[in-house]
Amino acid sequence: MSSWPHDPRPVRHRPAAVRVPLAGADWLASASRFPRSVHALWADSAQATVILPCGTAFDVIDAPMLFGRRMLDRLWSPAGPGSGPVAAQRGRLLLFAAPGTAQRLPALLAWEEWGGSGRPAPPPLLCYGTGDAVTVPPLCPPPQDLEPAPPASRWLVAPETRQPWLPAADVLLWACVRAARGAAVPTFPAG
């Protein structure tokens, strides 16, 4: 027992848990060929992860966590348009995007002149579109007392409506370019 009136150790707070409201769950389930089955699964356990197809309701751009956070910072900056739903999953950031983005973004990134004039290239992004599927985080995170660390799969920005705004390839290209430029380490000429 300590004689201190309070515990001197710093209190570490987890980020607030993000829950998906019913309208967002409806939108996610609409990606499935069997939305009622998805709803039934979530009715049994709101903490269940679900694999959903991409290409109809959304595409997903999968970025390494650090670069993805830089992209998200640019999207939510005063000059940025914001983002659609975003999930963190096993060290990666999943940015939900407009259908067709997975096909168009790689071509736009290839069109950029990366590496020239000291411009660093972004890390490889994984683009999931028609014919692909992703595991989406649970609607409700586990209770904090049961899970001491952040869950391996969680929503950072939850879908909140039946038709959330989803960034298209041009918006994500804008965020990639700015995130790559912001990550650049200035080089100085020898001399």
Q: What are the pLDDT digits (tens) for 66-85?
A: 999 999 999 999 999 999 99
Q: How far is CA 24 from CA 10, 85, 131, 185, in A?
A: 36, 9, 22, 39
pTM (2 d.p.) = 0.83
Amino acid at 22: L
Cα–Cα distance measured from residue 29 to residue 50, given in angstroms and rounded to the nearest whole number: 9
Pairing mode, if any, of strands 92-97 and 59-64?
Answer: antiparallel
Q: Is the pLDDT of residue 6 over 60?
A: no
pLDDT for 85-95, tens place per residue? Answer: 999 999 999 99
CA atoms within 13 A on the CB side of 132: 20
Per-residue confidence at 110, pLDDT binned at 50, 70, 90? confident
Closest CA to 24 of 90, 88, 87: 87
Average pLDDT rounded to a whole number, residues 131-151: 79
Counting beta carbons within 10 angstroms of the beta carbon of residue 70, is it exposed (0 to 12), middle (13 to 18) or buried (19 or more)?
A: buried
E-strand spans in the chain?
Answer: 50-53, 59-64, 86-89, 92-97, 126-128, 133-136, 153-157
